[in-house]
Structure 1
Amino acid sequence: MNAPFRQVAVVVHDLEAAVRHWWQTLGVGPWTAYTLAPPRLRDCVYRGERVDFSLRHALAWSGEMQFELVQPLSGPSIFADHLERHGEGLQHLGRYVEDHPAEVVAYLEKGFTPLQSARGFGAEGDGAFAYFAPPGGSGPVVELISAPKVRIEPDFSYPEH
């Protein structure tokens, strides 16, 4: 649980419009966008239930901080929940971890509530993510991220390089 937070994520309705806005208005980018969906995305769990969900997301670095924009596509998800309850905005903070299964256990032992998880989004079938609500319900959603060794081909980059 000592890995630094390296990611700030915002849920959006329209990924392309959000990427353009963040680049043109805030100077954050370049962005690389991906679609994560079954069958590549495996072992999808939402609030304790096995479900299929899909999303599009774009990633960009600004210094040491990675920004993620997430657009839910299908199925139940914490992203769709956020849009319904709060509209677009800050949704979670992410930590990249070396031993994803061990970190998940550590978070559960500390009283974090599992919200959503999946694995297999890397080009070699690796990569995993898990989202948690903090104990007592106060504070942001936390994502534990096991980055894939090789990413899948992106849907698009903005601006194009």
Structure 2
Amino acid sequence: MKASFLDLSIGQIGYVVPDAEAAVKAYYEKFGIGDWKFYTYGAPLLSFMNYHGKPTRFKARLALSYFGKTRIELIQNLEGKTIYTDFIEKHGYGVQHLGIYVADIQKELTAARKAGFSVVMEGGGFGLDGDGHFAYLDTEEVYGITYELIQRPLRRHEPEAVFP
């Protein structure tokens, strides 16, 4: 069975970093990547969070920018056991996922499950209207990288900070 979500293009590269602010400064100074928008993902911004199919709580500091047309996401895990802490324990810091933007995440999750993948971690409700949903799939063993499905919200909250 062909998984439809793999027909879509990669829109995001996600890196797990020890310090989001320091990483942003380095990317800006060395590569000229910026402006960076900072968000803290966790309660209350996320209305639901699941890890291995069970409700959980976590908190991560995210910094978002673009390198050309590709979104760069720098992720600093702040609290909780997550796919990010799993990655750090196994690999250290670095490229953790490739993000695929989807219009209908439920449809794509159904396709992913039919292809034999499960959701490792997901969260949602980060848009102004309670929309927005992300789901990390257990693709690392098969493809050497984790794929994240992302249904972007129609409207985003204002960032907590912007650099520079």
TM-score normalised by structure 2 residue count = 0.91
Shift of 1:135: 7.8
Task: State which of 1, 6, 24 in structure 1 corresponds to 2:29.
Answer: 24
What is the aligned partner in structure 2 of residue 73 from structure 1?
78
What is the aligned partner in structure 2 of residue 103 from structure 1?
108
CA contact (8 A) 2:140 2:146 kept: no
What is the aligned partner in structure 2 of residue 49 from structure 1?
54
What is the aligned partner in structure 2 of residue 15 from structure 1?
20
Given the alignment of the two structures, is residue 123 of structure 1 paired with residue 128 of structure 2, yes or no? yes
Given the alignment of the two structures, is residue 158 of structure 1 paired with residue 163 of structure 2, yes or no? yes
Q: Secondary structure at the match of 1:61?
A: strand
CA contact (8 A) 1:44 1:50 kept: yes
1:72 maps to a residue whose letter is: N
CA distance in 2, matches of 1:47, 1:90: 21
* Structure 2 residues without counterparts, runs of 5 or longer: none
Shift of 1:43: 2.2
Q: Secondary structure at the match of 1:157?
A: strand
2:136 maps to a residue whose letter is: Y
Shift of 1:157: 0.8
**Percent of aligned positions that are identical:** 39
* Structure 1 residues without counterparts, runs of 5 or longer: none
With 14-23 and 37-46 compared, the bigger mean Cα shift is at 37-46
Structure 1 stretches of 4+ with a deviation exceeding 6 A read none
Question: Once the two structures are superposed, what CA deviation does each residue of 1:85-134 show, in whole Å capped at 9, x if it has no partner?
Answer: 22210000001100111011111111123110011011221100000122
CA distance in 2, matches of 1:140, 1:22: 22
CA distance in 2, matches of 1:111, 1:92: 18
| Alignment coverage as a number of residue pairs | 159
CA distance in 2, matches of 1:138, 1:152: 33
CA distance in 2, matches of 1:58, 1:136: 27
Relative to structure 1, is the Cα distance of residues 135 and 18 closer, same or farther in structure 2, using a 3 angstrom cutoff? closer
Given the alignment of the two structures, is residue 82 of structure 1 paired with residue 74 of structure 2, yes or no? no
What is the aligned partner in structure 2 of residue 132 from structure 1?
137
RMSD value, Cα? 1.4
CA distance in 2, matches of 1:151, 1:32: 11
Relative to structure 1, is the Cα distance of residues 136 and 36 closer, same or farther in structure 2, using a 3 angstrom cutoff? closer
